Amino acid sequence: MINMFFGNIFSLLTTILVLGLLAFIALSLVRRNEIKKWGRLILILILAGTAVSALSATRDAFMTANALFSLNSLQSMACSIAGAIIFLTGIIAVFVKNQKFRKTSFSIISVLFIVQVLTIEISRIAFSIAGAM
């Protein structure tokens, strides 16, 4: 099971980036009353989240013959829809200058990122356990 998260360079980088991004989200939400401008945090979250998606797709050999998830799997669909909402929310936040809206947007993007991580990682663990049986 440890190899799933640290077995190769893509697994290691994905694990580190996911943990770092989760810590960033937690720290931002804990310090939410001190934060005055949310736009930069939204940008960092979207860019780092996109990097996580690219690394995890590489790690899981997405869109190849021996991919962990097929293109039309529930996991792929759920993460694609969440990703589209994340980007749409980010684009809207660029044009809406209200910090309360941006704070809410950051929270929405954070929740969707966490849903994506949980969807993929729980599925990977379940597939690993099922494959071991």
Give the integer Cα–Cα distance in Å for 127 and 30: 34
Percent over 70 (pLDDT), the chain: 98
Count Cβ neighbours within 10 Å for each residue of 4-19 and write b for 16 or more, e otherwise: ebeeeebbebbbebbe
Give the integer Cα–Cα distance in Å for 118 and 131: 19
pLDDT at 133: 54
Q: Is residue 40 pLDDT above 60, yes or no?
A: yes
Structure confidence at residue 46 as a pLDDT band (50, 70, 90): very high
Structure pTM? 0.92
Give the count of beta carbons closer than 10 Å to the beta carbon of residue 45.
22
